[in-house]
Amino acid sequence: MNKAIDLEAKYCAHNYHPLPVVLTHGEGAFVWDEDGKKYLDMMSAYSAVSHGHAHPRLVKLVQQQVANLNIVSRAFYTDRLGPFLKRACELTGQDMALPMNTGAEAVETAIKAARKWAYTVKGVPEGKAEIIGMSGNFHGRTIAIVAMSDEPQYQHGFGPFPPGFRIADYGDIKSLKRSINENTAAVIIEPIQGEGGIIMPPYGYLKAVRALCERHNVLMIADEIQTGLGRTGKLLACDHEDVLPDGLILGKALGGGVLPVSMFLAKREVMEVFRPGDHGSTFGGNPLGASVGLEALNILVDEGLADRSARLGEHLIGRLATIDSPLIKDIRGRGLFIGIEIDSRYGRARSVCEALMARGLLSKETHETVVRLAPPLIIGEAEVNWAFEQIRDVIAEMDEIRMAS
């Protein structure tokens, strides 16, 4: 029995099923447990820790800012928010931003912006606006967001849900075309579905979505909370197809692995639907979060983390592709955003993650069959090679056990 695990079991809601490891320290691509055992973090908090744990520039900056000014709410201006949002807009090609804290809040912000844009700009009759989400989507856990999900567990027991959402088949442009009507406000889309199992739509799909949205005067809103900020080998996953969405949602790595920092960005015509009092957040845009967010963006650029993700991701996918085992059904990904799909006839993704953990490599299964590899983007090539060897050996061991039984 472990004390920390027992306390969480007793006092923390059981809404997660963690791997049995108790972490106490993190530095760069590594974390340590309470016995001092070192692990390579190939999970990086669902991509929130792209900069690595305790990035020295972020630690230094937080120490300075925390002693200076942290929270004032947006009842006042601060010297930190403007420079952060300017940088975010310039890097992403958007005009304006609305700062929030968690990803789900930024998605909610996007939904509200899209609806109000539909009523005030597009001319959709009040109460009729529709938002199209994709099959297999993940955008967070609020009531409105799970209303847009087609995953039964995300909804079961939590209804009733707000209306106004539709689902189109992810990766199928004809399905999206059929779902659009005169009341459609927006399409919300992940360029690669992370929680869905590292699902990549066919190349050209994002461009086709962009064109279709333009033709029907529908907003294309990209949820890049997980895929954004270098994760897939470009600053944004939409950049792989040179697509500029009308709205963009960022979170996770925007907080540099230190704080929850998120935002909805959009072209001016969309963001200008918000008037004082329409929407807000006590903590959104606070000077501490804004400083961290700006530094997180600067580090991404200064350290070339997107290019590094592209190079090391290609290298790792190439090596993983050499593993010859019936256990592996598919290997896919872009940059350091990789899924290993386990054939459920031969094994479970969770068992692979447990075996990797015993060897000092942390990852997490998603959707029961996919092992997700998304390490901090500052990871070194030697660590990537070490990770490959652990995965290769775990798969070989599991193959041997299966053959023997």
Ligand X SMILES: *Cc1c(COP(=O)(O)O)cnc(C)c1O
So which residues are the catalytic ones?
138, 223, 252
| Alpha carbons within 13 A on the beta-carbon side of 49 | 22
- DSSP state for residue 249 in the 8-state scheme: E
- How many residues bind ligand X (CB under 6 A)? The answer is 16
- Among 100-108, 125-133, 148-156, 211-219, which window interacts with ligand X (CB under 6 A)? 100-108
Closest CA to 66 of 262, 296, 286, 284: 286
Nearer Cβ to ligand X (140/289): 140
- Among 13-21, 132-140, 264-272, 348-356, which window interacts with ligand X (CB under 6 A)? 132-140
| Binding-site member from 43, 58, 97, 104 for ligand X (CB under 6 A) | 104
Relative to beta strand 38-41, strand 361-362 is parallel
192-231: contacts with ligand X (CB under 6 A): 194-195, 223, 225-226
Minimal distance, residue 330 CB to ligand X, in Å: 20
Query: Where are any strands of DSSP class E within 95-193?
Result: 96-100, 130-134, 165-168, 184-189
Tokens of 132: 């199209």
Helix (H, G, I), strand (E, B) or coil at 303: coil
Minimal distance, residue 178 CB to ligand X, in Å: 24
- Among 22-30, 134-142, 311-319, 343-351, which window interacts with ligand X (CB under 6 A)? 134-142
- Among 97-105, 197-205, 302-310, 366-374, which window interacts with ligand X (CB under 6 A)? 97-105
Minimal distance, residue 402 CB to ligand X, in Å: 33
Encode burial over 23-49: b for 16+ CB neighbours within 10 A, e otherwise.
beebebbbbbbeeeeebbbbbbbbbbb
CB 299 within 8 A of CB 256: yes
- Among 71-79, 138-146, 314-322, 372-380, which window interacts with ligand X (CB under 6 A)? 138-146
253-292: contacts with ligand X (CB under 6 A): none
Q: Write down the residue that tokens 């099959």 correspond to.
A: 135
CA distance 391 to 389: 5
Nearer Cβ to ligand X (28/196): 196
| Binding-site member from 51, 55, 116, 139 for ligand X (CB under 6 A) | 139
Is the alpha carbon torsion for 269, 137, 319, 330 positive or negative? Answer: negative
Minimal distance, residue 228 CB to ligand X, in Å: 9
Minimal distance, residue 384 CB to ligand X, in Å: 23
Minimal distance, residue 97 CB to ligand X, in Å: 16
| Binding-site member from 26, 28, 52, 103 for ligand X (CB under 6 A) | 103
Kindly tell me the burial class for residue 80, based on how many C-beta atoms sit within 10 Å of its own C-beta (0-12, 13-18, 19 or more): buried
| Binding-site member from 50, 102, 232, 363 for ligand X (CB under 6 A) | 102
Query: Can residue 333 be called a binding residue for ligand X (CB under 6 A)?
Result: no
| Binding-site member from 52, 140, 191, 313 for ligand X (CB under 6 A) | 140
CA distance 96 to 163: 28
Query: Can residue 107 be called a binding residue for ligand X (CB under 6 A)?
Result: yes
Q: At what angle do helices 349-358 and 381-404 cross, to 10 degrees?
A: 120
Q: What share of the chain is helix, strand, coil (3-state, %, to 5)?
A: 40, 20, 40
Per-residue CA distances from 307 to 230, 232, 339 (Å): 8, 9, 19
Nearer Cβ to ligand X (140/285): 140
Closest CA to 210 of 221, 202, 200, 201: 221
Binding mask 43-62 for ligand X (x = CB under 6 A): ---x----------------
Query: Can residue 246 be called a binding residue for ligand X (CB under 6 A)?
Result: no
Query: Can residue 247 be called a binding residue for ligand X (CB under 6 A)?
Result: no
Minimal distance, residue 77 CB to ligand X, in Å: 26
Binding site for ligand X (CB under 6 A): 46, 102-104, 107, 138-140, 190, 194-195, 223, 225-226, 251-252
